[in-house]
Amino acid sequence: MKSAIVVFPGSNCDRDCYRVLKDIMNFPTVYVWHENALPDDVELVVLPGGFSYGDYLRVGALAKYSLVGKSIIEHAKKGKYVIGICNGFQILLEMGLLPGALIPNKHLRFICKNVFLKPENTSTPFTNRMKGRKTVSMPIAHGYGNYYIDRVGLDNIESKGMVAFKYSDRDGQANEDSNPNGSLNNIAGIINENRNILGMMPHPERASEKVLGSTDGLEIFRGLLQYS
């Protein structure tokens, strides 16, 4: 599965993603600078975490105007895969490829810790290897991870199975105590209706090797390979 990692000014998780895709998954992988177009033969595009354009205006707001943006939209329209992680998720929301917004964490503090996630929909290319799993564990590191959407939109994504992950406790209970940032309904990640775009605040690339304490994040990339 040929993959591309989009690099914006301020991206800082691009090498982490490259390590997983190229060295662990053995995917042919290239970096794509934000001023360039995606190669036509790319099957998976990853928008990594970081602080694109310094987050000076609003997280992800400037990145959506990057020249690579049109390429990403066309890529997604063809049904090819896109994953936005942390800042990448914020960019996908700003681009309108996923619904909702990410606002400052409830307690207005940057949060960096491991969390448990409950896989909500395991019938997607990204989550199909998590069937039967009560929880998975991945780290978060963000200041703007509080997912928000209006009531109609929330009902829509819940009813259509567009919620991929929810923050939960060790037993898979999504409650206030297990919600690190105030996200509506404990939402940690969502997919689009066509099931080819995933946006999530937790970092699967930081949970893809035993030395890091968890390999649960690797299941997302393995799932894509299995589904293809």
pLDDT by residue, tens only, the chain of 228 residues: 999 999 999 999 999 999 999 999 999 999 999 999 999 999 999 999 999 888 777 777 888 888 899 999 999 999 999 999 999 999 999 999 999 999 999 999 999 999 999 999 999 999 999 999 999 999 999 999 999 999 999 999 999 999 999 999 999 999 999 999 999 999 999 999 999 999 999 999 999 999 999 999 999 999 998 876
Q: Known catalytic residue: 13?
A: no
Question: Is 20 strand, coil or helix?
Answer: helix
Q: What are the sequence ranges of the domains in the chain?
A: 3-227
CA distance 33 to 11: 10
Catalytically annotated residue among 13, 75, 203, 219 = 203
> At the topology level of CATH, where does 3-227 sit?
Rossmann fold (3.40.50)
In one-letter notation, the amino acid at residue 98 is L
CA distance 225 to 219: 10
Q: Is the pTM of this model over 0.85?
A: yes
Longest dimension (CA), the chain: 45
Q: Known catalytic residue: 17?
A: no
Could you tell me which of 212, 203, 219 has the C-alpha nearest to residue 17? 203
Catalytically annotated residue among 94, 120, 205, 219 = 205
Question: Is 138 strand, coil or helix?
Answer: strand
Q: Known catalytic residue: 203?
A: yes
Instruction: Record the tokens describing residue 126, joined without a space.
Output: 């990204």
Catalytically annotated residue among 86, 94, 120, 142 = 86
